[in-house]
Structure 1
Amino acid sequence: MLASVENVTERSFDYIIVGGGTAGLVVASRLSEDPSVSVLVLEAGRANLDDESITMSGTFGKNFFHPENDWAFMTASPPLTEFAGLELNFYAGSPKAHGKGLGGTSGMNFYVFTQPPAEDINAIERLGNPGWNWDRYIHYSRKSETFIPPDESVAKTERLEYDAENHGTDGPITTCYAPMTSGWEGLYQDASQISLLRSLGNLGLKPVKDATKGDGNGSWMATCSVDPHTNRRAYAVSYLNQARGRRNLSVVVRAPVSRILSAPEKSADGKLVASGVEFTHDGKSYRVLANREVILSAGAIKSPQILELSGIGNKDLLSKLGIPTKIDLPSVGENVQEHIFAAASFELKDPEKYNTLDPIADPEVLKEQLKLYAEHKGLFLLSFLGIGTASLDRLSPNGAALSAAHIDKVKAQGALRSPGLQAQYELQIEKLEKGIASMELVSMPTFLSRPNPPEAGKKYITIVSIMNHPWSRGTIHAASADPQSPPTVDPHYFEDEFDLQNMVELVKFMRKLGKTAPLGDIIAREHNPGAEVETDEQLVSWVKKTANSIAHTSGTCSMLPQDKGGVVDPRLKVYGTANVRVVDLSILPLHIGAPTQSACVPLSSAIKISEAMLTCNCGERAAYVYGMAEQAADIIKGVI
């Protein structure tokens, strides 16, 4: 399916898909099932199809900031948003992971494959998008998955509970439970076998049998997107593998799209008609024509930039950049939401009893483990399993009071907001009042925290705390009319004080976990934040200096009514266009509370700790994107 530029330029295709990432490959595969239509995918990055740093299990995190595999967009520097007392060293001039190459971010994430709360998905429909509800979503998510159950004896020993009916059986993405566990997860019934999940239970989080049914409020073991037969990553390229041999599907790599081209005449109802796209390859500019549609699947950071470069966006911004306005759509690049995380690491008392990834930092151990991997053994089969989610009031004695005060403030300031943001906030208030889980904890068998570096020869458990329902909203816009210039990413992290309060209380709970039996019984000491962080003021400062983005950017092309800040309608058409759709995480109008699929950890000697901890890309969003893109494909085909 890989085609040369000469084979596609100046030709016409029924569908042109801009971006060969997670969503783009799903849509390309499904549309090309009809042999009567032609489909072209233009991907800015490489093919990467035989790159073992992507396909080999246990290498998650290795490609963060790799220039060929990660866009590594920088946040605004100096920050465009100023507010008192915020010393965010990650805010100004730090990279944001964003997958580059076929498969996109699904080729660099951390594998966890589970589902967001049903209430979060239903919120999308309640914001004005008929058909975008839990029942339809879970149908399409299962369509993407082939779940391989664990051996019964292993499932019992490791507490790997699941309902088979909640999982898919014949989709392109193979999922399973990790072949190797750390030794402290799952064996909670035996006092000598330490379980993080039991610790969570002791502090008020009840076990969840299978979070894929849409109720993950509690603690559970997560599945991962790995094929247990081959121990290889299962990612969006699997959709291309299903499409092998189709003559109607062409894929061109190293072909970043500069802009969408428009026809000189509008449609009968006065809408802009996309005639094709302009892209570059080896420094030269090319054009390709679209008979039916242009589908933008470039991701939540690139998609708004491409729309603006095409003259679709806020006319004031476009005018400053010297770009002629074709559609004045001020919401492009607005409503940016991001999951934020902070991490605490704990040194293990008896390291020989437990499996962690820390030893792989030793080059000699790395060589040994690579040999074991070839035999389907060793630490490269290790992943993380333990996840817990809860509302703030269940994690913190201050939670109820903080939430009540925030709700009062939001209600009092309602008249100052746009209708779209007000509609989102009303749903977020409802979640607070109902106690819907918005905070997340993920246990990881390795060191992943700062500022104190790990010590050689030690083993660590890290608990990553994640704030999933942010109240702050950022922006992402084109910085120049030059397509080669990166967009301006101004995320506004912690601009709403309640976000910072949430994170601080979550970190307090996270530290409490490290002292709670049975988990506390195997911990020698807290390494980060560390004993020197004692007071609330010190903890606030530590959070500001060490918290970072999980790289789950969403909202830049929100699916909302146009009068509420929407960029696309429920059929994913860009307002004011006849045949331009957006299919990627940018359409998500209100962020979902979801466990992560990847986080940045030092899994080989080639990864420096300082680089690895700059960001965290969490892949459960990939599970959402698969389901969303499957639904989008049926919308485009007219099935629904």
Structure 2
Amino acid sequence: MDNPDFIIVGAGSSGCVMAERLSASGRHKVLLLEAGGDDRRFFVQMPLGYGKTFFDKRVNWMYRAEPDPGLAGNIDHWPRGRVLGGSSSINAMVWVRGARADFDEWRDAGNPDWGADEICAAFREIECAAIGDDAVRGRSGPLKLFVPNKTVHPLTRKWFESAQAIGLPMNPDFNGDNQDGVGLFEFTIHKGRRLSSARAFLRPAMSRPNLRVITGAHVTGLTFDGQRATGVTYMRRGKTVTIKAGCEVILSGGSVNSPQLLQLSGIGPADHLQSLGIGVRADNAHVGRNLEDHIGTNYTFRANCPTINQQLGPLWGKLSAGMRYLLMRDGPLSVSLNQAGGFIRTDPNRTRPNMQLYFQAFSTVLPRPGERPILSPDPWPGFSIGWSNCRPKSRGEIMIRSADPFEPPKIAANALSHPDDVAEMLATGKIIRRMAATRPLADYIETELLPGPDVIEDEALIEDFRRRSGTVYHPVATCRMGPDPARAVVDSRLRVHGVGGLRVVDCSVFPNIVTGNTNAAAMATAWRASELVLQDNT
């Protein structure tokens, strides 16, 4: 495409929405560049295929964080989507909006276009939900949502009963006005297939003559005229291509790649860029900093009844599940493993939940290095109850290592470095044990496998979850939004401070992390951002 009006870098959760919305009127020419390839792969489209894509470099950037003292020195694996649909093509597909108060905090931080009313209006436009209040939930959007009422394992219902017995209510809709309680999650799955941002938004738009999508295009830098971004340079099949944007360049590379590209282009902490021989175009200490992420762990139990382990473990089970999926798009391969969960408050005086729960009628205690063994569970019946912190206080950073655009950046997560995060994790582990000791779930437990019944003292419990915890793949805020260039990277219209013609639209602009999974908020952010971009380019 010659002379596009908008160049979007990254066809992930946000980039696909931006491409669809900016091209919808037909008035603007849009070029979407994606470093990865096509999403039409079996294990991308099969919901439980994310166990395979977790370590597949053909669709995954396969990042590795730095050794983390907060995680007992472990090196955490950071999968990020490198394919059409981005991380929405390789994630666990849980659809959680976040709490209304999260977005009102965005607004109150000096971002008037980003309160709960504006973001929830975007959610309603995006969603096609089958549950919840008509006044809150969208019914006719392009993203059809699925609730696994028929496929959920019976043990999940026993967990619900035990959770209620210790005072947690059932919640029929985590995306309504209240998140508290336990229940079934919603998923971006439709008719047994993953419904990524690429399938829901980009594919229907690709027939438009004013939208062009180029895969295998690794953007290596931005071009400028003074302090205005004019276009990008990318590598494809060994050739370097430079192309200009008539209106704007929009970065949608996510919380790792967007700050990386800004830094490579001279926008970031001046001292760091100069140490790498990169000329400084805009000195902004916050590019790549303020990293927030949810950290999770689990307790695992051996059951005295069959679980999903017996459905997917033996060869006959794999063959049966495979045939059922191929013929009917049904069965355990047609849905995520985290079919249920919840949101709780470790202190009743909190204004909203601070911890997220996950229930899996499935276990993978046996170590399998270099593998996420979703399709190879333990040979005995087992299940896990997991949890993660919703609003961590620990902060990390993502910084380039050199001027080489093909070298992965340095990811220093600093997980569990704040004592309040440690206290929340400890308190939740004790709640999990209360659930497991409460009937009826207690009747189905043979023994606790991890961390084990002998791990009792607080110090030992903390040591355990530091050793076994890790990212739940929700990094945000590395190009955070705010009115003050001394504290933020983009303004409330997502324009990069100090640089014209350049915006960032993805999870990296979140002023703070949301209460729950981030994929939904990434899409809603792009939907809202497209309205602002079109207003500014009438």
**Fold match by TM threshold 0.5:** yes
1:638 corresponds to which residue? 535
3-state DSSP class of the match of 1:470? coil
**Deviation per CA, 1:373-421, whole angstroms, max 9, x where unpaired?**
1232432234443222122224xxxxxxxxxxxxxxxxxxxxxxxxxxx
The CA distance in 1 between the partners of 2:71 and 2:37, in whole Å, is 37
* Of 4, 7, 15, the match for 2:6: 15
The CA distance in 2 between the partners of 1:39 and 1:445, in whole Å, is 45
1:166 aligns with 2:136: yes
1:131 deviates by 1.9
1:60 deviates by 2.9
1:381 aligns with 2:363: no
* Of 95, 101, 107, the match for 1:125: 107
* Of 226, 243, 247, the match for 2:205: 243
1:204 deviates by 2.3
Show structure 2 runs of 5+ residues with no match: none
The CA distance in 2 between the partners of 1:273 and 1:450, in whole Å, is 54
Amino acid at match of 1:173: L
**Deviation per CA, 1:537-596, whole angstroms, max 9, x where unpaired?**
2211111110101110001000012255110000000001121000000001111111xx
1:34 aligns with 2:25: yes
* Of 149, 155, 164, the match for 1:184: 155
The CA distance in 2 between the partners of 1:534 and 1:521, in whole Å, is 21
The CA distance in 2 between the partners of 1:29 and 1:41, in whole Å, is 10
The CA distance in 2 between the partners of 1:207 and 1:306, in whole Å, is 44
The CA distance in 2 between the partners of 1:307 and 1:440, in whole Å, is 33
* Of 376, 385, 406, the match for 1:463: 385
RMSD of aligned alpha carbons:
2.1
3-state DSSP class of the match of 1:166? coil
3-state DSSP class of the match of 1:442? strand
**Deviation per CA, 1:268-326, whole angstroms, max 9, x where unpaired?**
xxxx2111101111232211111100000000011001001111111111100101001
Say whether the 8 Å CA contact 2:53–2:90 is kept in structure 1: yes
2:518 corresponds to which residue? 621
1:74 deviates by 1.2
**Deviation per CA, 1:128-165, whole angstroms, max 9, x where unpaired?**
1002111111110121122246xxxxxxxxxxxx3344
**Deviation per CA, 1:406-448, whole angstroms, max 9, x where unpaired?**
xxxxxxxxxxxxxxxxxxxxxxxxxxx5442111111112115
Say whether the 8 Å CA contact 1:321–1:480 is kept in structure 2: yes
Say whether the 8 Å CA contact 2:216–2:236 is kept in structure 1: yes
Distance 1:98 1:491, change over 3 A: same
1:208 corresponds to which residue? 171
Amino acid at match of 1:392: T
3-state DSSP class of the match of 1:316? helix
Say whether the 8 Å CA contact 1:343–1:448 is kept in structure 2: no
Distance 1:450 1:314, change over 3 A: farther
3-state DSSP class of the match of 1:177? coil
The CA distance in 2 between the partners of 1:117 and 1:14, in whole Å, is 35
Amino acid at match of 1:35: G
Distance 1:276 1:635, change over 3 A: same
1:75 corresponds to which residue? 65
**Deviation per CA, 1:439-489, whole angstroms, max 9, x where unpaired?**
111111211557799985322221111111111111111111010111110
The CA distance in 1 between the partners of 2:84 and 2:135, in whole Å, is 31
The CA distance in 1 between the partners of 2:463 and 2:503, in whole Å, is 43
* Of 249, 272, 287, the match for 1:317: 272
1:357 deviates by 5.0
- After the TM superposition, which of the residue ranges 94-103 and 560-569 deviates more from structure 2? 560-569
Distance 1:258 1:389, change over 3 A: same
1:88 corresponds to which residue? 72
* Of 128, 136, 141, the match for 2:118: 136
The CA distance in 1 between the partners of 2:334 and 2:398, in whole Å, is 37
1:568 aligns with 2:522: no
1:175 corresponds to which residue? 145
The CA distance in 2 between the partners of 1:382 and 1:64, in whole Å, is 16
2:413 corresponds to which residue? 491
Say whether the 8 Å CA contact 2:477–2:510 is kept in structure 1: yes
Say whether the 8 Å CA contact 1:357–1:379 is kept in structure 2: no
1:276 corresponds to which residue? 231
The CA distance in 2 between the partners of 1:493 and 1:547, in whole Å, is 9
Say whether the 8 Å CA contact 2:284–2:485 is kept in structure 1: no
* Of 317, 324, 328, the match for 1:365: 317
3-state DSSP class of the match of 2:299? strand
The CA distance in 1 between the partners of 2:88 and 2:364, in whole Å, is 21
Q: Matches of residues 528-539 of structure 1 in structure 2 within 5 Å?
A: 528-539=450-461
1:53 corresponds to which residue? 43
**Deviation per CA, 1:322-343, whole angstroms, max 9, x where unpaired?**
0100111111111000100011
1:327 corresponds to which residue? 282
Q: Matches of residues 314-463 of structure 1 in structure 2 within 5 Å?
A: 314-351=269-306, 354=307, 356-357=308-309, 359-376=311-328, 377-383=330-336, 384-394=338-348, 434-448=350-364, 456-463=378-385
2:127 corresponds to which residue? 145
- After the TM superposition, which of the residue ranges 274-283 and 503-512 deviates more from structure 2? 503-512
Amino acid at match of 2:194: R
* Identity percentage of aligned residues: 28
Amino acid at match of 1:199: S
1:15 deviates by 0.2
3-state DSSP class of the match of 1:277? strand
TM-score computed with the length of structure 2 as normaliser: 0.93
Amino acid at match of 2:31: L
